[in-house]
Amino acid sequence: MPRRLAPYRPAAPLNVIRAALSGVLCAAVVAAPLPASAASANVEAAAPTASGTIGLMRFDGDAAVASDLRSYVQSELEAAGYTIKGVALDMPSAAKKVKCREVNDDCLAKIAAWLAKGKDAMPYDYLVYGTAAPADSGKIATVVVYDLAKKAKVTELRATFTTDDYILPVVLPRAMARAIQDAKSAPAPITPDEEKILAELDEGPGKTPEELRAEQRAIAEAQAAVDQSPTDAFDTSGVKADLKADFDKFCRNEKRRKRASKEEPPDLRPNCKLGPFWGYWQNRAWVALGLTGAGALATLGLYGLGLGARGPYKEAVDVLESSGLSNTDPLQSVEYTALASDVAAKGASMRRLLVGGDIALGATVLLAGVLAVIIYQDRTDAKRFIRTEKSLRAISKIQDVQVGPILGAGVQGAGLGFRF
């Protein structure tokens, strides 16, 4: 079910109280920095004496919000006295019709010429188009008013819609109607009384010269106090980490803390039960140690089997040599071949075991090198961890005082902040 905007409720002439409250509320919203309008437009309803024909295009984007927003704009512009004629295309479709790659002034001029094609004159004075974003998405919706005669934008309003906003559907169409009216006839300049009201919105009533001098004096005193407070970074270069001496202060008796995510730093505290050497090892070091030990056992096993196979091989060689058989005598070839085959088989078995031992030895040496690197990295990380913790503990013992100015309506002076 698509999310729709809050219903548009124009002020009824018979309901004077609701109309007055709506006007006051809308004026307060426009005085605040709302992202809905590109300028601080007056949100009072446009005077019904306005005239002109406005071509209201379909809004592209979210269908539900586009339909509601277009309806709000049409209702307000009609109430302001404009003649509204619907255009059964949105801006991307119209741009595609006139073969525009980008919606700019040249493209809008082509669209205006295309709309006037076959007619004696331009059927519209203004063209309204826009893009609607889904409600509650946080994305920006835009509504543009384009003056076809002047070939220039009158205004471009940007807003973020929510389903429970009952003010924006009133403010935005009225701001659009006011922008069109102001483009036709510029508003009167701001009066001195209005300037005084705007100046007092944030600062309150006008201050006397004595109050202004006291405020400036308080600011100067607070600034001087701030200049005297310590602002330099704490020097912790003298903090050293000793893995053996600091072991008892930072070791843990519980299991290593598991990380909730990869971004969380690992628990580098050593294990109290394993001592100052083995306790700093991380899991990867134990895995490397296991693989290195397995390689060493494999090396010893293969070399042992190879050396054990050397005895049967030498016995087979001795039998062949003591048999007195000749490999050149055809009558002795069968017996000689049998003894020679036995020697070759036992020799091949011995060589395979010894070559396997060599391979296992090489792998064990490589794994031992990896283990040494891992141990070095773990101990380096542990030193960095201990040095950081000792630095934080040293800084936490320092009492720091921060001073800052406090200025406000009826309040002035300096504030002190203590950090223990």
Q: What does the pLDDT look like over 280-295, one tens digit per residue? A: 888 888 999 999 999 9
Share of the chain above pLDDT 70, in %: 77
Q: What is the CATH number of the domain that holds 156?
A: 3.40.50
For the entire predicted model, the pTM comes to: 0.39
Q: Which domain holds residue 294?
A: 267-387
> What region, left, alpha or beta, does residue 324 occupy, with left being phi > 0 and alpha being psi -120 to 50 degrees?
left
Residues 289 and 155 in one domain: no
pLDDT of residue 168: 84
Q: Say yes or no: 143 and 288 in one domain.
A: no
Could you say which of 187, 209, 237 is where a domain stops?
Answer: 187
Between 144 and 226, residue with greater pLDDT: 144
Do 149 and 294 reside in the same domain of the chain? Answer: no
% of residues, the chain, pLDDT over 90: 15
| Residue 218 located in a structural domain | no
**CA 115 to chain CA centroid, nearest Å:** 44
Amino acid at residue number 233: A
Structure token pair of residue 301: 């096993």
Q: Are residues 34 and 157 in the same domain?
A: yes
Average pLDDT for 330-352: 85
Q: For residue 261, is it within any domain?
A: no
Confidence label for 298 from pLDDT (cuts 50, 70 and 90)? very high
**Whether the predicted pLDDT of 319 surpasses 70:** yes
Split at pLDDT 50, 70, 90, the class of 235 is low
Same domain as 181, residue 58: yes
Angle between helices 333-396 and 283-322 (to 10 degrees): 160
pLDDT of residue 239: 78
For residues 371 and 419, the model is more confident at 371
Evaluate whether 113 touches 85 at the Cβ level (below 8 Å).
no
Average the pLDDT over 220-249 and give the result: 72
State whether 174 and 281 are in the same domain. no
Number of structural domains, the chain? 2
Q: Is residue 9 part of a domain?
A: no
Q: Considering the domain boundaries, does residue 246 fall inside one?
A: no
Inter-CA distances, 187 with 39, 180, 196, Å: 14, 11, 19
**394 within some domain:** no
181-209 residue pLDDT tens: 888 887 778 888 888 777 766 555 666 77
Q: How far, in Å, CA of 91 to CA of 327, rounded? A: 100
Q: Is residue 71 part of a domain?
A: yes
Q: Does a structural domain hold residue 311?
A: yes
Give the model's confidence band at 355: pLDDT under 50 very low, under 70 low, under 90 confident, else very high.
very high
Residue-wise pLDDT for 7-42, tens only, equals: 555 544 434 334 434 443 444 444 444 343 333 334
Mean pLDDT computed over every residue of the chain: 78
CA dist., res. 230 & res. 400, Å (int): 8
pLDDT given at position 32: 44
Q: 289 or 166: whose pLDDT is higher?
A: 289
- The confidence score (pLDDT) of residue 163 equals 83
State the CB neighbour count (10 A cutoff) for residue 311. Answer: 11
End-to-end CA distance of the chain: 55
Same domain, 39 and 172: yes
Give CA–CA dist 320/318, Å, rounded.
Answer: 5
Picking from 156, 187, 218, the residue at the C-terminal end of a domain is: 187
- Regarding whether 153 and 282 lie in a shared domain, the answer is no
- Reduce the DSSP state of residue 404 to 3 states and report it: strand
pLDDT per position as a tens digit, 34-82: 343 333 334 444 444 456 889 899 999 998 888 888 888 999 999 888 9
Same domain as 128, residue 271: no
Q: Is 220 inside any structural domain? A: no
Give which of 41, 75, 24 is closest to 178, Cα–Cα: 41
Among 50, 44, 66, which residue's Cα sits nearest to residue 143? 66
pLDDT of residue 232: 54
Task: Clarify whether residues 24 and 165 are in a common domain.
Answer: yes
